[in-house]
């Protein structure tokens, strides 16, 4: 039990049957449990670890809603409302910060202006951007503010959501591995469970439970290097900050005609950063420390070794961007998430069994909405009872 007396890490519990069994306690699995409990259904969540320890806690805490397009934007918009509600009910830190984008060249500004024509993005003059972010003024040509975006602390948010769901009646079976799934049945290392509906939300470990689906859909693993540093800013960073490297990654920007020239220029000028598959971005946590990253490497089993060149590049780029003394590194880590040729995996495994994953590294941004929308459609659920959970 936690400090509030909630059994959040029990390996076994009450009944071995539930209306819904969710496999995986990452953000998509928690979103599935949240969707089910709000409809008055009984829920068991099964996870081989003793708490969420994967991509759901190893990220920037940046809910980059307004940079998405298509299905990703629809899921992100739905997630936004769910995040706001959960932050109130589960009592964790979340702010409606929006996202800042710093432009240091005219081609970056051109991408921002083209994307801003669709609304929800406000262009910023250099002076205003400097008031919002402690950047170096030299080389800065302007920027933008993505208005819909949110920020949280992933390390505290995930645990708070688990506690809230446990108080709401969700039963968590941690330290329990799932060995097989089929209609109405989940086999685990602690015995079988029966369920009306089953949700498989195991992220990059899809190939461990459903290898044929992982192979057919091309889902592999993407590893990313990140760090957290103590910094001395003249004033806090008022929102997560993106750069030109981010503009060639996120759909709303990357799909513009202006992004073609930007990508060519970035890769020609800095092949070393392109080789790292850099997404140069920053978030400042409530304690003042700064999350810096990130690089990307893809494979079925990417190497666990973290090249120091990546971290040196992170710090060098941060030093060139921010007006601050050299930051002091506090932590380094490797994140892992599912990656595939499509942005999302939505697969009916068997009758009453649905597999879900965000497969482009935007699980925190889209995961709650991904679960809400697809479970409703797949299982024929009625709208949630919004006064519950």
| CATH number, domain with residue 144 | 3.30.9.10
Residue 386 domain-assigned (yes or no):
no
Pairing mode of beta strands 99-103, 241-242: parallel
- 187: helix, coil or strand? strand
Residue 16 domain-assigned (yes or no):
no
Enumerate the β-bridge partners of residue 188: 178, 191
Is residue 330 within 8 A of residue 155, CB to CB? The reply is no
pLDDT of 7 over the 80 cut: no
Residue 166 domain-assigned (yes or no):
no
- Mean pLDDT on 92-106: 98
Residue 56 domain-assigned (yes or no):
no
Residue 308 domain-assigned (yes or no):
yes
pLDDT of 275 over the 50 cut: yes
Please give the residue range of the domain that contains residue 330.
99-149+219-339
**Tally of domains within the chain:** 1
Average pLDDT over the chain, rounded to an integer: 95
Which band of pLDDT confidence, cut at 50, 70 and 90, is reported for residue 5?
very low
pLDDT of 10 over the 70 cut: no
Which band of pLDDT confidence, cut at 50, 70 and 90, is reported for residue 1?
very low
What pLDDT does 384 receive?
80
Quick one: DSSP state of residue 69?
Answer: -
pLDDT of 130 over the 90 cut: yes
Residue 195 domain-assigned (yes or no):
no
Which band of pLDDT confidence, cut at 50, 70 and 90, is reported for residue 383?
confident
What pLDDT does 11 receive?
47
- CA separation for the pair 146, 199 (Å, rounded): 33
pLDDT of 4 over the 90 cut: no
Angle, CA of 286, 297 and 317, to the nearest 5°: 50
Residue 231 domain-assigned (yes or no):
yes
Which band of pLDDT confidence, cut at 50, 70 and 90, is reported for residue 255?
very high
What pLDDT does 45 receive?
98
- CA separation for the pair 171, 44 (Å, rounded): 5
Residue 204 domain-assigned (yes or no):
no
């Amino acid at each position: 039990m936690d400090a509030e007396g909630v059994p959040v890490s029990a390996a076994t519990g009450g009944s071995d049957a539930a209306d819904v069994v969710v496999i995986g306690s990452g953000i998509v699995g928690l979103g599935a449990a949240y969707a089910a409990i709000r409809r008055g259904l009984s829920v068991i969540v099964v996870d081989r670890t003793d708490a969420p320890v994967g991509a759901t806690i190893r990220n920037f805490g940046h809910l980059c809603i307004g940079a998405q397009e298509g299905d990703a934007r629809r899921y992100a918009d739905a997630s936004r409302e769910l995040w706001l509600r959960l932050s109130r009910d589960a009592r964790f830190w979340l702010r409606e910060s929006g996202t800042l984008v710093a432009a240091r060249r005219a081609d970056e500004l051109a991408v921002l202006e083209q994307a801003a024509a669709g609304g929800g993005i406000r262009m910023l003059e250099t002076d205003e951007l400097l008031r919002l972010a402690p950047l170096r003024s030299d080389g800065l040509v302007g920027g933008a503010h993505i208005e819909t975006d949110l920020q949280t602390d992933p390390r505290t948010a995930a645990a708070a959501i688990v506690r809230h769901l446990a108080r709401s009646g969700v039963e968590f079976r941690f330290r329990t591995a799932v060995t097989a799934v089929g209609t109405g049945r989940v086999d685990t290392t602690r015995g079988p469970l029966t369920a009306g509906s089953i949700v498989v939300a195991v992220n990059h470990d899809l190939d461990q439970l459903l290898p044929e689906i992982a192979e057919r859909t091309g889902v592999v693993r993407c590893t990313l290097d990140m760090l957290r540093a103590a910094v001395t800013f003249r004033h806090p960073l008022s929102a997560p900050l993106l750069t030109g490297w981010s503009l060639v990654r996120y759909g709303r920007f990357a799909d513009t005609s202006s992004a073609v020239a930007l990508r060519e220029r970035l890769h020609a000028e800095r092949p070393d950063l392109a080789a790292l598959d850099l997404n140069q971005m920053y978030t400042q946590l409530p304690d003042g420390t700064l999350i810096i990253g990130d690089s990307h490497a893809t494979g079925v089993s990417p190497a666990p070794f973290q090249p120091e060149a990546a971290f040196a590049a992170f710090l060098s780029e941060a030093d060139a961007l921010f007006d601050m003394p050299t930051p002091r590194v506090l932590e380094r880590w490797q994140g892992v998430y599912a990656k595939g040729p499509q942005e999302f995996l939505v697969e009916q495994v068997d009758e009453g069994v649905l597999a879900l994953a965000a497969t482009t590294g935007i699980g925190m941004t889209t995961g709650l909405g991904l679960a809400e929308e697809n479970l409703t459609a797949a299982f024929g659920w009625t709208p949630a009872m919004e006064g519950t959970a």
